[in-house]
């Protein structure tokens, strides 16, 4: 059995990609193990709500930072709850980590429907609606690396070939960044229909721009590259 055949694909993912003619994003295999369907048109590694359509770099950060450190807090609260009141496991599953009832109700746990992804977060699917408002979203946090895609899809007055070409290019860029992400510091990349906004920080230096060429040059010539490249076989390919 090949490595790809042994991978557990989330239920409904293959059909979702085929039905919407969407290329498969480069999901790390470690994230694929816990990727599940969280909504009709969305797959993710945990149940955090994406209550708005991310269209700007700051929107990506808002989603990825929504539950920062939530697992550690949840585990600590659960432990305290056991020692203080002896509450059962079902009651502790809804512990309020973020300070709001809504966040507590949707917060993941080790025994929840969607296991926690220790590498960070991956979310992928469709968001928005209307004749011109649908978008493909791909949000990834892998250590100090963040990559986001928010591109128009299936617009009534759009060009399907152009939309697919743009999305495939964004996913290829994600693969390149995943292989060349910095060993230290932080790399943030966000691709939307206005272009590619990126920043690379670390060791007291900060670089950034709004063009793909500048990003690729920085990854190629910078001194913050990973010491070891991640082999292509470790990524879910299109």
How do the pLDDT tens digits run along the chain, 238 residues long? 444 445 677 889 999 999 999 999 999 888 888 899 999 999 999 998 888 999 999 999 999 988 754 444 444 444 454 444 444 434 333 332 223 334 334 444 434 444 457 779 999 999 998 888 999 999 999 888 999 999 999 888 989 999 999 999 999 999 999 888 777 788 999 999 999 999 988 767 788 999 999 999 888 875 444 433 444 333 444 3
Structure tokens at 163: 């939309």
CA pair distance 79, 18, nearest whole angstrom: 44
186-192 and 145-152 strand pairing: parallel
CA pair distance 74, 3, nearest whole angstrom: 34
Backbone dihedral angles phi then psi of residue 30, each to the nearest 5 degrees: -65, -30
CA pair distance 71, 67, nearest whole angstrom: 8
How many C-beta neighbours within 10 Å does residue 168 have?
A: 13
4 by DSSP, 3-state: which?
helix
Which residue spans within 128-221 are E strands per DSSP?
A: 135-142, 145-152, 186-192, 195-202, 205-209
CA pair distance 197, 218, nearest whole angstrom: 13
Structure tokens at 34: 């816990």
Structure tokens at 46: 């945990």
């Amino acid at each position: 059995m090949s490595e790809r055949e042994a991978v557990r694909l989330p239920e409904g993912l293959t059909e979702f990609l085929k039905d919407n003619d969407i290329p498969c994003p480069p999901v790390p295999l470690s994230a694929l193990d816990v990727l599940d369907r969280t909504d009709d048109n969305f797959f993710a590694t945990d149940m955090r709500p994406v209550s708005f359509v991310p269209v700007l770099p700051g929107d990506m950060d808002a989603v990825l930072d929504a539950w920062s450190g939530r697992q550690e807090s949840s585990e600590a609260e659960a432990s305290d709850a056991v020692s203080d009141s002896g509450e059962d496991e079902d009651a502790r599953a809804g512990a309020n980590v973020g300070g709001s009832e809504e966040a507590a109700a949707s917060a993941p746990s080790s025994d929840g429907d969607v296991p926690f992804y220790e590498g960070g977060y991956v979310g992928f699917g469709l968001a928005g609606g209307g004749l011109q408002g649908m978008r493909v979203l791909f949000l990834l946090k892998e250590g100090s690396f963040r990559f986001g895609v928010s591109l128009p899809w299936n617009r009534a007055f759009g060009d399907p070939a152009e939309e697919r070409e743009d999305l495939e290019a964004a996913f290829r860029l994600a693969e390149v960044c995943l292989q060349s992400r910095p060993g230290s510091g932080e790399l943030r990349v966000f691709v939307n229909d206005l272009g590619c906004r990126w920043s690379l920080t670390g060791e007291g230096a900060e670089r950034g721009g709004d063009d793909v060429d500048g990003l690729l040059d920085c990854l190629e010539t910078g001194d913050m590259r990973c010491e070891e490249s991640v082999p292509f076989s470790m990524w879910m390919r299109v």
